[in-house]
Amino acid sequence: MTESKTRLPKNIELVPDGEALVIRRTWRSGPSYFLIAFSLFWDLFIVVWFTAAIREEEWGTLAFGMIHLLFGLGISYLTLAYFLNKTDIRIDTNNLTISHAPIPWSGTYVQANSEIDQLHSKERVHQRNNMKTYYYDLVSRDKSGTDKKLLIGLTDKNQALYLEKEIEKTLGIKNRTIEGQI
């Protein structure tokens, strides 16, 4: 497998793994720090709520608080994933494999290298209250012309473009223009 001489984007590293190329992307970014503050505040609020409800024997209030507890657990799980998870893109002689760890997360993917025709990055714009947020997806097109999103919601355009170029280079795929790519 080839090794890149290009400067790596933030939160991306190349990891030695025998004959395979492993590109590792760390999830931790600016929004992660907001999430930890929000999670701590929310979880503290839930502890106070439940403590008061139990002390006062307010079982209806406690039952209503279960919705907030479940929300807090979900946000705490997301926060842990954003702080601890890494995505590994592993390219060996046979397959392109994408996995996320150590916190279990959906999106594990394996595709035979021989089935990959092209990779491209797409930009998505989310607009809310006159504020635009840009997200980038890394997409694989197979030999039949079917697109499969490999990574979604990247917030750094340079990461998406780097991953696209590095995987294409490693697999010996000549870059071609695809409608809608960045």
Q: Name the residue ranges covered by the structural domains of the chain.
A: 12-27+85-171, 32-83
Find out whether 21 and 14 touch, Cβ atoms under 8 Å: yes
Percentage of residues in the chain with pLDDT exceeding 90? 76
Assess contact for 104 and 84: CB atoms under 8 A: no
Average pLDDT over residues 24-51: 92
Gap between the Cα atoms of 14 and 150, Å rounded: 18
Mean of the pLDDT values across residues 71-87? 95
Q: Residue 89 above 80 pLDDT?
A: yes
Q: In what order do the strands lie in the sheet with 86-91?
A: 12-17, 20-26, 86-91, 95-101, 109-112
Is the sign of the CA dihedral 38, 40, 43, 49 positive or negative?
negative
Comparison of pLDDT for 58 and 5, the residue scoring more:
58
Rounded distance between C-alpha atoms, residue 167 and residue 164, angstroms: 5
Q: Which string of DSSP letters, residue by residue, matches the chain? A: -----SPPPTTEEEEEETTEEEEEEE---HHHHHHHHHHHHHHHHHHHHHHHHHHTT-HHHHHHHHHHHHHHHHHHHHHHHHHH-EEEEEE-SSEEEEEEESS--S--EEEEGGGEEEEEEEEEEEEETTEEEEEEEEEEEETTS-EEEEEEEES-HHHHHHHHHHHHHHHTPPP---TTB-
- Residue 4 clears pLDDT 50, i.e. is over it: no
Q: What is the pTM of this model?
A: 0.82
Q: Mutual orientation of helices 30-55 and 59-84 as an angle, nearest 10°?
A: 160
- Of 29-38, 79-88, 126-135, highest mean pLDDT: 79-88
- Range among 10-19, 53-62, 93-102, 169-178 with highest mean pLDDT value: 93-102
Cβ atoms of 106 and 98 within 8 Å: the answer is no
CATH number for the 12-27+85-171 domain, one of 2.30.30, 2.60.40, 2.30.29, 2.40.420?
2.30.29
Q: Is the peptide bond before 9 cis (omega within 30 degrees of 0)?
A: no
